[in-house]
Structure 1
Amino acid sequence: MNTAALREAAPGRDDGYLFSRGQAWFAFAMTIGLMMVDYIDRQVIVSLFPYLKAEWNLSDKQLGGLVSAVSVTVALGAIPVALLADRGSRVRSVVVMALVWSLASISCMFSRGYGQLLAARSLVGLGEAGYGSVGAALIASHFPARLRGALLAGFFASASVGSVLGVLLGGVIAARFGWQAAFGIVGVPGLVLALLYLKVRDYPTVKLTPRLDRATSSTRSAAGAIVQALIRTRTLLWLCIAGAAQLVVVSAIWSWLPSFLNRVHGVVPEKAAMSAALVVFCGALGSVVWGAVADRAGLRRPRARLYVVALLCVASMLVLMLGFGGARLGLAIGAQAQFALLAAGGFLMTCTVGPLPAAVIDVVHPGIRATGASVISLFQNLFGLAAGPLVAGFLSDAWTLEFALTAVPAFSLLAAGALLVAARTYEADLQRACQAAQATELPAEAPMPAAVQPARKALA
């Protein structure tokens, strides 16, 4: 084994910065900035639903499709993009992605019908494909392992902040300048940040073992390796299922809450967007808080972090069902009390955002961090973020939006069950992954301050 790699992998040697503290925090700030812009461009449309429904007479299924289209293309493109980034340049990949999704977002303002807008939204997702996994890999490489859980929680929490701004800006801009202008205005910051991102330092491409090199030579071979990894490592599979199930709830509520406030409570679109943005902001805070809580819970007993997150999933389901459906149960819940429940549910429902991606990144080979992160990204986007708005849209068309948002939180129960199953094998998989990491030969020029803690196995 390479002696430099051994020194990096040894206990107590995983707390250094890849280049310098300043370079690491610059990379973190830029990566978080683009993550916020990513979700601003994704979520700006939810505040525009009332305008689009009135102007084009769209059904709720069609409106939900405009949100889901982004997540579907993100999911389908995540693995190919991550493969290219792992074997080439992470920084240049991010720059290209940001330019594509920003230009696609701007193009939405020129849409003259549903089909054109759906196509433009799909291009937004194609540009964003792989960004979450590549960005997470960059952060994990720049920083000490002891900081990774909290930093990744912050990184993924920035998606919530971006969603807050997207919902808020969409409503404010549309009320003043029209819904078309909202797409054009929010697309510009991504172009600026993309050019500034060229100043971020990349981590060296890690040489792979022959087996891993074959597994990542193409999208097809990578897909096969991922399937084998999911079968071989049960923890990874159940974590992916849990993350996707909980994001069905998150994406449905984020997408439909402005319309719920508008239709059920008669709030004008601009004020409905502001109120919904506050709930989304509670989710951003919750993702950071619960990431830290889960890390602390797992210090002595790793599986305890999964138990804590499972409990939070159940709590979010109960609070949200009461918030949306309390009146149906005959409970006298005033408007302010209902909004307080929705804000509390928003704070709880993002509990999986930090802990689950961090756990998945820890079980992949250092040379394919981005590809490994794309596994949970695929599950979360295709079966979580894409499914939530559509499921709620179908239920809303069949019954009412109020019924749809009362029923959707039941997916949190599936998330909790998957986490409890994952907990059975979690510690054993961590142990085997740690052993696999120590047996992997890596070049001296590829420092791994954040690469070997505590597990690397799923795609090895």
Structure 2
Amino acid sequence: MAYASSLPDGAAADTPNTPDTPRVFAWTVFALTFGLLISDYMSRQVLNAVFPLLKQEWQLSDARLGLLSGIVALMVGLLTFPLSLLADRWGRVKSLVLMAGLWSVATLGCALAQDYSQMFVARFFVGVGEAAYGSVGIAVVLSVFPRHMRSTLTGAFMAGGMFGSVLGMALGGAIAAHVGWRWAFAAMALFGLALAAAYPMIVRPSRMADAGRGRAAGARPPLASLFAGRALRAAYIGSGLQLFAGGACIVWMPSYLNRYYGLGADRAGIGAAVLVLASGAGMVLCGMLSDRLSRVQDNRKVSLAACYCMGAAVLLGAGFLLPPGAAQLVLVGCGMFVAAGASGPAGAMVANLTPGAVHGTAFATLTLANNLLGLAPGPFVTGALADRVGLDRAFCVIPLASLAAACVFAYARRHYDGDCAVIGGSKG
């Protein structure tokens, strides 16, 4: 059976639909692209599971450890936009294979690093390879499915980053505990290289209509529309601030469990992976709740984003003020669940507040904001605070970023309806 197109004639300027794409092939494309996303985040987050081992072996400060994580997010943030544009011109499938090969080889370089400087260079190239994978990968997936499945697929694809983080930390911690931290990096690299080799043999642009070359038809996209309207700019900022707190928790949770719960690298990695899994579930379930509650009144998703951020600030703040124990872990887990919930509404806001012809570039801009405001500085600032006051007290300060994000989304709510009307409607 082939999927039928739900787009009218002339709508190809948005992500194209392929009326003759077989269902099995479409889901195979999704599975392989999703698998590479899993590899992307496994390669990125395995570092967090081996923080305690690197700190001990190389005598590193927490700030320097945080920089090893932050450099990846920084390169993703800086390069997402230009590399997404290049992929549209050069070919998306070829670009994805090149990206996956680069981050996998760079992860192998992490396994071979002999000192901090070599590890930093390898992590730099991990970030370069991963920079545009999210925006280009979702474009490939959407190109082989009908329009009415876009929200479901986008939510599932974004949650894949959390699930990859879970696997990276859990498997990385277990491997490091048994055969050493170098093999933890090597295992992630080999998984990525295997998928990168299989991808072009199965996912062929000739079977995907415009998927291999996602250039929109017509005139040059109006890049000024990427920043038009106060609600849109607030969506970028609010999403980035919320990920400042969420990203810091994900990166430093293995170290927190190691230092304050006395867990080894393997058990700390597994424990942190469970909390990250809560974030992935929150991204999916809170996004579904947002869509359901916003069917009649679309601006409710903006209010919900503010509520999710406020809930995260309260739950995480209260949790980290408690002494180590079951109650703390429950509150922190609930906080991470709610914290990830803002991702869905923020993405919907960006889609609703920009013209359809520039949605791909708009999501690259959102990724830029998420990394430059959240995922890059969050781990580094937390590490720097930990060097001064301890990791437990640093975690008590980080939830203030979620409080700031709630204020930004509340500001966006005031302007959302008017800004939607300017671009021609508020679609859920």
Task: Give the TM-score normalised by the residue count of structure 2.
Answer: 0.90
Report the CA distance between 1:231 and its aligned residue: 4.3
Report whether the alignment pairs 1:373 with 2:357: no
- Note the 1:50-449 alignment, pairs <5 A: 50-198=52-200, 199-200=202-203, 201=205, 202-204=208-210, 205-212=214-221, 225=223, 228-327=224-323, 335-434=325-424
Quote how far apart the aligned CAs of 1:203 are: 4.8
Query: Is this contact kept in 1: 2:304–2:345, CA < 8 A?
Result: no
CA RMSD of aligned residues (A): 2.4
Q: Is the 8 A contact 1:149 1:291 kept in 2?
A: no
Residues 85 and 151 of structure 1: CA distance in aligned 2, closer, same or farther (over 3 Å) = same
Aligned equivalents of 1:257 and 1:77: distance in 2? 27
Asked if the contact 1:149–1:355 (Cα under 8 Å) also holds between the matched residues in 2, the reply is no
Which secondary structure does the structure 1 equivalent of 2:341 belong to?
A: coil
Counterpart of 2:412, as a letter, is: A
Report if the CA contact (8 A) 1:152-1:358 is conserved: no
Cα deviation for residue 144 of structure 1 reads 3.3
Report the 3-state secondary structure (helix = DSSP H, G, I; strand = E; otherwise coil) of the residue aligned with 2:298: coil
Name the stretch that deviates more: 412-421 or 165-174: 412-421
Show CA shifts across 1:256-305 (max 9, x none): 11111111222222211111111011111111101111111221111101
The aligned amino acid for 1:284 is G
Given that 1:75 and 1:382 are in contact with CA atoms closer than 8 Å, whether structure 2 keeps it comes out as yes
- CA shift for structure 1 position 93: 1.0
Q: Distance in 1 between matches of 2:340 and 2:273?
A: 15
SS class of match (1:36)? helix
Residue 289 of structure 1 aligns to a residue in which SS? helix
Instruction: Letter of the 1:82 partner, please give it.
Output: S
- Separation in 2 of the partners of 1:55 and 1:126? 27
Partner of 2:127, secondary structure, is helix
Q: 1:83 to 1:34 in 2, by over 3 A?
A: same
Q: Is the 8 A contact 1:40 1:186 kept in 2?
A: yes
Which residue of structure 1 lines up, in the alignment, with residue 3 of structure 2?
none
Cα gap change, 1:90/1:211 in structure 2, threshold over 3 Å: closer, same or farther?
A: closer
Query: In the alignment, what sits opposite 1:19?
Result: 21
Distance 2:298 2:22 in 1: 30
Q: Distance in 2 between matches of 1:40 and 1:315?
A: 28
Report the CA distance shift for 1:161/1:50 in structure 2 as closer, same or farther (over 3 A). Answer: same
Identify the range of structure 1 (157-166 vs 363-372) with the bigger mean alpha-carbon deviation.
363-372
Contact 2:18 2:209 in 1 (8 A): no
Local SS of the residue matching 2:143? helix
1:426 Cα shift?
2.5
What displacement does 1:373 show? 1.5
* Cα distance, 1:76–1:229 mapped onto 2, change above 3 Å: same
Cα separation, 1, equivalents of 2:282 and 2:356: 29
* CA deviation vs aligned residue, 1:3-46 (integer Å, no higher than 9, x gap): x9754659xxx998673433332222222111111000000000
One-letter code aligned to 2:151:
G
Q: Name the residue aligned to 1:218.
A: none
Contact 1:360 1:373 in 2 (8 A): yes
Q: Is the 8 A contact 1:40 1:162 kept in 2?
A: yes
**Against the structure 1 CA distance between its residues 322 and 166, is the aligned structure 2 distance closer, same or farther, given a 3 Å change threshold?**
same
Q: Matched residues in 1 for 2:152 and 2:192: separation?
A: 25
1:331-365 deviation line (CA, Å, top 9, x unaligned)? xxx61111111211121111123332343245445
Following superposition, the deviation at residue 141 of structure 1 comes to 3.2
User: Aligned partner of 2:285: which letter?
Assistant: V
Unmatched 5+ stretches in structure 2: 1-5
- Relative to structure 1, the CA distance from residue 145 to residue 416 in structure 2 (aligned partners, 3 Å threshold; closer, same or farther) is farther
SS of 1:142's equivalent in the other structure is coil
Structure 1 residues 424, 279: CA separation in 2 closer, same or farther (over 3 Å shift)?
Answer: same
Cα drift, residue 155 of structure 1: 0.7
The count of residues paired between Structure 1 and Structure 2 equals: 413
Paired-residue identity, %:
37
Aligned AA (1:131): Y
Deviation at 1:393, TM superposition (A): 0.6
8 A Cα contact 1:157 1:288, kept in partner:
yes
Q: 143-152 or 180-189: which moved more?
A: 143-152
Matched AA of 1:360:
V
Q: Which amino acid aligns with 1:348?
A: V
Aligned pairs for 1:32-43 (under 5 A) are 32-43=34-45
- CA distance in 2: counterparts of 1:363 and 1:85, whole angstroms: 24
CA distance in 1, matches of 2:421, 2:83: 30
Q: Is the 8 A contact 1:86 1:369 kept in 2?
A: no
